[in-house]
């Protein structure tokens, strides 16, 4: 009578055994019949197997540990895993590291310099130095950079590809540019400035100056990309243009101009465009992304780069949706042979703006106006021009 249900026990899963045991205990009115006893034995055996088959943390493959390390900063990786065993030590030596030191206080920073940096110098590919916040008293960017350079030379980091400095002074920039030719792996230099006006500041304009629209990083060039986030009076940019123009060049320079709205539009007029042009080895591409303001400051800025052949403009400002003004500007830029123009407009009031791009100037160049909704329920349309031939 009991043989049939007992033979089925070995076919039950762990969860089924657990549920069946509970049910039969309730049905047996406290009497442990043979099936209940057998179920209990199988259940305890299965429970033991489940316990012994649990995956141990140290049994995980290296690929999973690499994924884990990618989510952690180098400081946490070293503090949590380095020194646990030989395997972890060797694995950490193969992980590319990105070290950010710009949010540490002075004591934390000194500990990182002493205990963390020596362990990751060979796999460090990105390094950020300086102090982003002005609230860290008695510790500023100049001190932070000096502490690092007193302990290390940038050339020690043979795999360093990206270097970011916040508010370096002139002497620090001079020292850096002297050794850059020896930093064979360096491809990108980021120079940031303090946000002195806090939340009042926002990025009002982005500029990209490059040898071509792809501005790809050349493997045979020591340093190809310079990124500067700057605010009026453009301290870092001014230092570079004053002391290093004609001494070092780049394939691409990107500028993020941040300022409070009351500075705009006059902030763009203080940019030394001639100096910028000389910092790019063979500049023929200009990209400008403008978020606020009238078209006049941006147009004046574009005119100061007469050598460009490819112009790309993106804006959400309705002031730029004037085909007559664009025609006047482009007629003065004799070298431009390619234009990318993206303007986002309110679809309910766009007809008048679109008509200004249908004049003889635009038709002769066989440029088409594309007006399409960005999303199904969006109230924006996008004017897009892409042409390989302007004239």
Name the residue with tokens 């234009």.
Answer: 339
Strands (E), 272-331: 285-290, 310-315
Q: How far apart are CA 299 and CA 236, in angstroms?
A: 24
Residues of the chain under the 70 pLDDT cut? 1-40, 42-43, 46-56, 133-138, 195-201, 213-223, 260-266, 346-350, 367-391
Locate 254 and state its tokens: 């990107």
Locate 264 and state its tokens: 């705009």
Please say whether the beta carbons of 223 and 250 come within 8 A: yes
Domain of residue 39 covers: 3-52
Task: Give 305-322 pLDDT, tens digit per residue.
Answer: 999 999 998 888 888 888
Q: Does any domain span residue 199? A: no
Name the residue with tokens 């160049």.
Answer: 365
H/E segment holding residue 181: none
Antiparallel, parallel or unpaired: β 252-259 and 202-210: antiparallel
**Which pLDDT belongs to residue 253?**
93
Strands (E), the chain: 97-100, 124-129, 162-166, 188-192, 202-210, 225-230, 252-259, 285-290, 310-315, 338-346, 380-387
Q: Does any domain span residue 329? A: no
Task: Give 349-377 pLDDT, tens digit per residue.
Answer: 667 778 888 888 888 877 666 665 555 54
Q: Does any domain span residue 147? A: no
Q: Does any domain span residue 13? A: yes
Residues in a beta bridge with 315: 290, 343
Q: Does any domain span residue 30? A: yes
| Domain tally, the chain | 1
Enter the DSSP assignment of 137: T
Locate 113 and state its tokens: 């310099």
Antiparallel, parallel or unpaired: β 202-210 and 285-290: antiparallel
Whats the size of the chain, residue-wise?
A: 391
**Which pLDDT belongs to residue 297?**
84
Locate 196 and state its tokens: 């002195």
Q: Does any domain span residue 9? A: yes
Q: How far apart are CA 300 and CA 297, in angstroms?
A: 5
Ordered strands of the 380-387 beta sheet: 97-100, 124-129, 162-166, 188-192, 225-230, 252-259, 202-210, 285-290, 310-315, 338-346, 380-387
Q: Does any domain span residue 47? A: yes
**Which pLDDT belongs to residue 262?**
60
Residues in a beta bridge with 314: 289, 342
Q: Does any domain span residue 161? A: no
């Amino acid at each position: 009578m009991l043989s049939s249900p007992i033979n089925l026990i070995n076919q039950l899963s762990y969860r089924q055994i657990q549920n069946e045991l509970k049910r039969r205990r309730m049905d047996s009115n406290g009497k442990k019949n043979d099936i209940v006893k057998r179920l209990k034995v199988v259940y305890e055996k299965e429970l033991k197997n489940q316990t012994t088959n649990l995956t141990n943390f140290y049994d995980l493959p290296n690929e999973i540990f690499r994924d884990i390390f990618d989510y952690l900063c180098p400081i946490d990786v070293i503090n949590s895993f380095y020194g646990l065993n030989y395997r972890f030590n060797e694995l950490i030596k193969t992980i590319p590291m990105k070290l950010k030191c710009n949010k540490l206080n002075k004591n934390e920073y000194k500990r990182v310099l002493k205990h963390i940096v020596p362990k990751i110098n060979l796999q460090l590919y990105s390094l950020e130095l300086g102090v982003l916040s002005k609230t860290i008293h008695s510790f500023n960017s100049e001190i932070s950079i000096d502490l690092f350079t007193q302990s290390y030379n940038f050339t020690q980091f043979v795999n360093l590809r990206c270097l970011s400095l916040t508010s370096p002074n002139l002497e620090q920039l001079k020292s850096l540019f002297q050794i850059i030719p020896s930093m064979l792996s360096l491809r990108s230099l980021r120079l940031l400035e303090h946000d002195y006006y806090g939340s009042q500041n926002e990025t009002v304009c982005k500029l990209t100056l490059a040898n071509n629209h792809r501005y790809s990083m050349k493997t045979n060039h020591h340093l190809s990309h310079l990124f500067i986030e700057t605010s009026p009076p453009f301290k870092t940019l001014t230092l570079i243009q004053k002391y290093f123009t004609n001494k070092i060049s780049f394939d691409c320079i990107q500028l993020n101009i941040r300022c409070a709205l009351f500075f705009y539009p006059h902030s763009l007029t203080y940019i030394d465009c001639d100096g910028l042009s000389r910092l790019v080895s063979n500049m023929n591409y200009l990209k400008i992304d403008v978020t606020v303001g009238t078209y006049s400051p941006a147009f004046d800025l574009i005119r100061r780069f007469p050598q460009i052949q490819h112009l790309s403009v993106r804006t959400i400002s309705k002031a730029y949706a004037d085909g007559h003004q664009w025609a006047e500007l482009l007629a003065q830029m004799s070298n431009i042979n390619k234009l990318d123009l993206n303007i986002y407009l309110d679809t309910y009031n766009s007809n008048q703006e679109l008509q200004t791009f249908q004049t003889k100037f635009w038709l002769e160049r066989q440029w088409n106006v594309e007006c399409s909704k960005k999303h199904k329920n969006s109230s924006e349309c996008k004017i897009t021009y892409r042409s390989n031939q302007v004239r």
